Amino acid sequence: MTPARTASPRTARAINDRIALELLADRGPLTAGRLKELTGLSRPSVADLLQRLADDGLVRVVGEAGEARRGPNARLYGLAADRAHVAAVDVRTGSVSFAVADLAGSPVDRAVLPVEEAGNGGARDAGTGAGDPAERTAAALEEALRGNGVTGLHTVAVGVPGLIDPAAGTLGRSAALPAWHARVPAALRERLGVPVLLENEVNLAGIAEHRLGAARGRDTFVLLWLGHGVGAAVVLDGALRRGASGGTGEIGFLPVPGTAGLPTATDCDGGFHSVAGAEAVCALAREHGLTATPYDPADGARAAEAVVRSAAAGEAGGAGEAFLEALAGRIAVGAAAVASVLDPGCVVLGGEVGRAGGQALADRVAQRLAGLSPLATEVLCGTVEGSPVLGGGLVTALDAARRELFNPR
């Protein structure tokens, strides 16, 4: 029988250091005594640990625990959050938004960069010069970092529509996406000189809901994204699933009843997208006598978001109720297909339409879903504040930064 191996002193120190750093990142400043309670380490071990982390520039004294306490035992130790920064970028057809945070996850800056001409076949979309949207994105982020005095950018996470090759980490070419989308990662790497992680934007939103929102504490769930297009992020046993070609969750291509035809390998018209995408939501609203701004691809899901929010708030009366019921029926068809294959036990409605509908829409979808599927499936609305794509991007970039930095000597 092979004897069990024990960790070497060096490995044990590294493990303890990482645990302490994660506690400081998650719970804020702590005293040495509180760290002792949380880690189960002895007082001398905690003292040595804090000294090592201070020497590595990862921890510093940030104050004292209370007015009545003074001296070493009252010192509050905090994560040196300015040791490194991360950024997230959300690439859309008509705009790019980005956010910057420090090592503790505290926000530093956030901005939206309009991208006119993007995706319209204009000259700037085809070029790679100063007017190229990819170059403008990299320059705008660089300027934001400089304006905030950030010099230690560690990682950038980029969310884009479309398939991400899980092996190469590159965006698959799609005629439906502007050509400049694929150039954003390279432009950021070249200008900023840091690692750039590329991920499907719905997957990033799913990560945000898993770590920060409605699915927090759940090991298995599916985020159903309802916006300009539709998609899904699948988390099984605590892990995001991307599939062999990065196509897990491409439910816009899911054949469903009620459409004029079937989707093809290059066009999701005739699939779930045709009944639950923003354009279809606006058309459904007009069918029920509601005023919906004519759909404009450049505005993404704004018109659909507005009419769904109004209906969910009860502002549209009986017509709004009927519209929500009809929309819930459509969404439930897609949710039932997901449930029948994955049995996730929980579906979170995200995207502009899902969040605008709130729990009022989620409850209606749950009721319809219960009549379509024998599998018990809770339906929730997304709760991440702000942009879930940027939120998931920051979480992803922070994970990468902490994996490297939270393994001190």
**Alpha helices (H) along 148-248:** 184-192, 201-212
Element (H, E) at 381: strand 378-381
Helix (H, G, I), strand (E, B) or coil at 341: helix
The CA distance from 254 to 340, in Å, is 13
Task: Locate 364 and state its tokens.
Answer: 């209606």
124, 133 Cβ separation under 8 angstroms: yes
- Name which of 7, 105, 15, 6 is nearest 408 in CA terms: 15
H helices of 347-387, in order, are 351-372
Question: What is the structure's pLDDT at 384?
Answer: 94
pLDDT of residue 46: 92
Cβ neighbours, 10 Å, residue 83: 18
CB 318 within 8 A of CB 290: no
Q: How far apart are CA 259 and CA 333, in angstroms?
A: 12
Amino acid, single-letter form, for residue 27: R
The whole-model pTM stands at 0.88
Question: What pLDDT is recorded for position 1?
Answer: 44
Q: Read off the DSSP letter of residue 85.
A: E
Lookup: tokens for 389: 């794509």
CB 389 within 8 A of CB 160: no
What phi and psi, each to the nearest 5 degrees, are found at residue 3?
-70, 150
Tokens read off for 22: 């994660």
Residue among 341, 354, 373, 100 at smallest CA distance from 214:
354
Query: Residue 282 — left, alpha, or beta (φ > 0 → left; ψ -120 to 50 → alpha)?
Result: alpha
Q: Report yes or no: 101 and 211 within 8 Å, Cβ to Cβ.
A: no
Low-confidence ranges of the chain (pLDDT < 50): 1-4, 117-128
Sheet containing 196-200: order of strands: 107-114, 95-102, 85-91, 153-160, 196-200
Residue appearing with tokens 């639950």: 276
Could you tell me the two tokens for 78? Answer: 């905090």
Q: At what angle do helices 9-27 and 388-405 cross, to 10 degrees?
A: 150
CB 89 within 8 A of CB 98: yes
Q: Which amino acid is at 250?
A: E
